[in-house]
Amino acid sequence: MTYSLDLRQRVIKFVTDGGSMAQAGRVFAVHHKTIKNWIESDDLRPKTPPKSRNRKLNKQDIFEHVKQYPDMILSDRAKHFNVTTNAIWYQFKKLGITLKKNDKIQGKKISSTYRIPTNSS
């Protein structure tokens, strides 16, 4: 839970005016360790998480990428879309894209490709 800047400032003022962190915790319903962190912090503003990766994957972009690169592994696709490998795996499962393993007897090499469901357009 993110506390407002106003509440943080009131709690710090309460403690600097002579109240204890335990008292401030009871009065403002904030844990004393949180108050301690606020006192030790240089900046009281709430921190926002960095937006370093995408949260939404475009269904059509995934289908096109699989058609263009059917042999690419999940971790490489995740790097391409700037998401986690698990996000790609989850989207594949949701969209019905399955892994098709082809056994090549000549070189005893197994290659993998992804199969897109036929009703996906």
Does residue 103 fall inside a structural domain?
Answer: yes
Does residue 104 fall inside a structural domain?
Answer: yes
Cα–Cα distance measured from residue 48 to residue 5, given in angstroms and rounded to the nearest whole number: 13
Residues 42, 47, 50, 51, Cα dihedral to 10°:
-150
Res. 70: pLDDT tops 60? yes
Element (H, E) at 110: strand 109-115
Q: What is the mean pLDDT of the chain?
A: 83
pTM of the shown model: 0.45
Structure tokens at 80: 């391409």
Does residue 51 fall inside a structural domain?
Answer: no
Positive or negative, the CA dihedral 30, 35, 41, 44 is positive
Does residue 52 fall inside a structural domain?
Answer: no
Res. 50: pLDDT tops 90? no
Structure tokens at 19: 């109240």
Does residue 101 fall inside a structural domain?
Answer: yes
Q: Which pLDDT band holds residue 46 (cuts at 50, 70, 90)?
A: confident
> How many domains does the chain fold into?
2
- What is the pLDDT at residue 116? 76
